[in-house]
Chain A
Amino acid sequence: MEPLPRLGYGLGLRPIYYEEILSTLPAVDWFEIISENYMIPGGRPLAMLERVRRDYPIVMHGVSMSLASTDPLDFDYLAELKALAERMEPAWISDHVAWTGVHGLNLHDLLPIPYTREALAHVVERIKRVQDFLKRRLVVENASTYIAFKGAEMTEWEFVAEMAERADCLLLLDVNNVFVASFNHGFDANVYIDAVPAGRVAQFHMAGHTNKGTHRIDTHDQPICEEVWKLYGRARRHCGDVSAMIERDDNFPPFAELLAELQRMRDIDASLSAQASLGEPPRSAA
């Protein structure tokens, strides 16, 4: 399979910003959509997406493939997803290491799994089947988690690395999710980042979260915090030139604030590149 393109710096396409995006064509390299929001018969959302698509590359990011669910794969959903992909020609399709429900129900959340051999074999087999059906490599994201299970037989990063290798899929490294999980479960986020198979990372996610004191929740309704910016620098040094984007799903700020966060990402990367070309040992650029 051909390597995925390097898209640069993107943002999540959200309805509140449609008009501004279409009227100003901002300096954003690409947009990521929530696939399910456009798996509808027609109307304004699809019309807006098609207009944005004329000027920007698009990536399709799903939230309900339920790769880790023990229910059968939902091929009706996958057929709809494939049809949308044929229409929008995204650079790639992504979803999560998570499950969203069993027994035919959907809880509309990305739910945690125990990092066991059984779960790993299950997820790997399903990613392979999805890739066969979609006829493309899937890009799979690490999810934020608030609980860990006693029965785990490996760390999350060991699970993700082996999953990617065995399923021959690509990875969407959500830097904020790594930070949130590291805080909630008491591990070193740097160890996670360093263990990610860099050659398989196709994309970064960056986002803000909510600090509840004893735990952090992946709310996508805050600016990116300093700890996550710092971790981003480490991820960038480890993974190199992969496409990156910022997710914002609530408490929407003026679009200019998201552009400013995107610029900060560019500045960090420029600083890292300059250091690398001067042969300096990389320092924290965030």
Chain B
Amino acid sequence: MKLAELQALFQSAILAGDETDAQLIEEILPKADESRETLLGVYVNAYTLRLTEYLDEDYPALRAYLGEKEFRALVKAYIAANPSKFRNARWFSNPMPEFMQESAKWRAKRRAIGIAQFERALTDAFDAADASAASLEALASFPPEEWPELAFSFHPSLHLLQVAKGTLDAYVAATAEDEETRKRLAQIRATACEGTEAAAVWRAEGDLSYRGLEDDERLALNEAIAGKSFGEICQLVAFQDESQPAVERLAQFLVNWFSEGLVAGVAKATCD
């Protein structure tokens, strides 16, 4: 049998989880004290075990939220539907949220999908490209009258998410070390999932960070990421909290973004 044919046969057996493929078994040299099926099974089993391990590592909160039985069913379905196209195993688990969204069985589990999106964002932020965070001093170096003209670039690890309501609470409960907090997961699971919430995930000084965003901050951050100047953002964003002047609230967001390490650069916007 030609090498290409043998490799195609071998790969098919592994993907099918079938260590008994008669045509392939016929190509394997018999061993006196062990069946060829058992030996081929070393490769077949290793494939599933390895991919399962990648998913377990990348989605611990999703696993806790769904429970062992349901998570195992998800992992099995994901592996069957997504043979890896990646040289680097790091990327194998990435399409999990889309897989859940496109699957009839999983698409209704909005909070579970939210947790998957959130954990994927954490993984992506972990090894996103490096950049130095811009300091508050960099912002302060511009006189206030120039702030409306300022535009910002953000750390490459920054991800903005719009996920099902309760996702962040569920993540916190699922990954908590203390029993009391973990107990909340059952309550969250029993709560109806209505509406959405926003979150930012990023890496600051090497460590992962995240927090929830109110609607006005999410809108402002979205605009800032899109390259809008501070002045434009002030005009575009409709602020819900009318007790505080919009510009002051936006200025506070800006200071927070700088102090939390979200911003990588600040400069006066250029007119195209």
Contacts and interface: CB of A to CB of B under 8 A. Distances in A.
Given A70-B7, A113-B3, A214-B33, A107 B38 contact: no
A43 B131 CA distance: 9
B11 A108 contact: no
Contact of A217 (B2, B14, B42, B130): B42
Contacts of A100: 87
Interface in A6-63: 36-37, 39-47
Nearest to B29: A148
Interface stretch (A86-94, A114-122, A131-139): A114-122
A149 B6 contact: yes
B8 A102 contact: yes
B31 interface: yes
Interface in A150-170: 150-152
A88 B113 CA distance: 38
Interface residues of A, number: 48
B47 A109 contact: yes
Contacts of B214: none
Nearest to B42: A146
Contacts of A114: 3, 6, 27
A72 to B, nearest CB: 12
Contacts of A184: 31, 39
A106 B86 contact: yes
Nearest to A144: B42
A149 B27 contact: yes
Contact of B7 (A40, A69, A74, A152): A69
A42 B156 contact: yes
Contacts of B26: 150
Nearest to A150: B29
B23 to A, nearest CB: 12
Nearest to B92: A108
A147 B11 contact: no
B11 A102 contact: yes
A37 B39 CA distance: 29
A77 interface: yes
A99 interface: yes
A214 to B, nearest CB: 4
Given A105-B11, A108-B50, A44 B39 contact: no
Nearest to A99: B7
A13 B50 CA distance: 20
B6 A45 contact: no
A119 B3 contact: yes
A212 to B, nearest CB: 8
A103 B12 CA distance: 11
A70 to B, nearest CB: 4
Interface string B78-112: 00000111111110100000000000000000000
Nearest to A64: B87
Interface of A: 36-37, 39-47, 64, 68-70, 74, 77, 99-109, 111, 113-114, 116, 118-119, 122, 146-152, 184-186, 214-215, 217
Interface of B: 1-4, 6-8, 10-11, 14-15, 26-29, 31-34, 36, 38-40, 42-43, 46-47, 50-51, 83-90, 92, 126-130, 156-157, 203, 206
17 contacts: A39-B87, A39-B88, A40-B88, A43-B128, A46-B127, A70-B7, A74-B87, A109-B46, A109-B50, A111-B10, A111-B43, A116-B3, A147-B29, A147-B42, A148-B28, A150-B28, A184-B39
Given A111-B7, A150-B27, 7 more contacts: A37-B90, A43-B206, A44-B127, A69-B7, A70-B3, A107-B11, A122-B3
